[in-house]
Homo-oligomer: A and B are copies of this chain.
Amino acid sequence: MSSFELKTWMQTHLDRIEMTLSEGIQQDAPAELGQAMRYAVLDGGKRLRPLLVLATAEAVGDSLQGSAALRAACAIELIHAYSLVHDDMPCMDNDVLRRGKPTVHVQFGEAQALLAGDALQTLAFEMLTPQDGTVPPSVQAVCVGLLARASGYLGMAGGQAIDLASVGHSLTEDQLRQMHRLKTGALLLCSVQMGAKCVPGVSEQVLGALTRFGQALGLAFQVIDDVLDVTADSATLGKTAGKDVAADKPTYVALMGLEAAKNYADALAAEAMQALVETGLSDSRLGALRALAAMVVQRNN
């Protein structure tokens, strides 16, 4: 897939994601809650997780005519969005800038931000369980099971707890990897797994290789995040740069140095690409996944 093709693929799919997210949050929800939720989710975000869901579903043969993969894509973005709203709150990272805009609690107040985050998490599970018969109950159940486990105390929330506890403490590389596996990696892996489960009957070989792909990509994503925290400026990042260093948070850059961290990210990207080869799926099927993985490694925000 050439870079031009990726651009077209992304635009088509991003349009569907944005429309589904927008339709999913009614403007007239009670007392500004809907507005706070829309503010947190719409008009921003790279949508990496939803694009990974759709690219994986296509890779295993989903024509994306049905709504299962699209709903899974939006559900995982809602989980990601809720985690950002709560992460930014004063009792957590106390951040005022996100995607170049004031954070939700700055714009709507802390109580509304707390509620909006809560309701965005709930909406993710609503998104996975449409009542109109468009997604088979078995797919609904599998996706809820995957997303809940990736988000919860043995997934993303657990990783955040380790992160909280680790500020000012030095971690070993193993501990750092464990933290990121939960905090960031679990959702990225889950994107790939949900995409694959939207199509029944995918072989264990393919699922196994896609899992290795998701794991390597998730770790690469975090290493690059740490690199960008020291090399990019706030305007490019759309969030406050240098905040990990300022908060004395353990990072790959702190642990191994900037150049070694960049090399580690490249090695992980190569591992991810190799896992795609091991799926045995055709090159034409894998185009979008390959292009997305390359984008993760080459990103500058």
The digit string for A137-161, where 1 denotes a CB below 8 A from any CB of B, is 1101110110111011111011111
Find residues 74-119 in chain A having any chain B CB closer than 8 Å to their own CB. Answer: 82-83, 86, 89, 91-92, 109-112, 114-115, 117-119
Stoichiometry, as copies per complex, reads 2
Binds B, one of A3-11, A27-35, A230-238, A285-293: A27-35
Instruction: Check A161 against B91 for contact (C-beta < 8 Å).
Output: no
Residues of B within 8 A of A114 (CB): 86, 89, 91-92, 114
Given contacts A110-B91, A137-B140, A164-B31, contact A125 B125 (CB under 8 A): yes
In the complex the two chains form, what is the Cα distance from A200 to B159 in whole Å?
A: 38
In the complex the two chains form, what is the Cα distance from A176 to B300 in whole Å?
A: 50
Q: Is residue A37 within 8 Å, beta carbon to beta carbon, of the partner chain?
A: yes
The main secondary structure of chain A at its interface with chain B is: helix
Residues of B within 8 A of A48 (CB): none
Q: Please, which residue of chain B has its CB at the minimum distance from the CB of A123?
A: B152
Instruction: Check B122 against A32 for contact (C-beta < 8 Å).
Output: no
Given contacts A117-B118, A151-B122, contact A33 B111 (CB under 8 A): no
In the complex, given contacts A86-B115, A92-B111, A122-B153, what are 18 additional A-B residue pairs having Cβ atoms less than 8 angstroms apart?
A29-B161, A30-B153, A30-B158, A31-B158, A37-B153, A91-B111, A112-B161, A118-B118, A121-B121, A122-B148, A123-B148, A125-B147, A125-B148, A126-B148, A129-B144, A137-B138, A141-B141, A141-B144
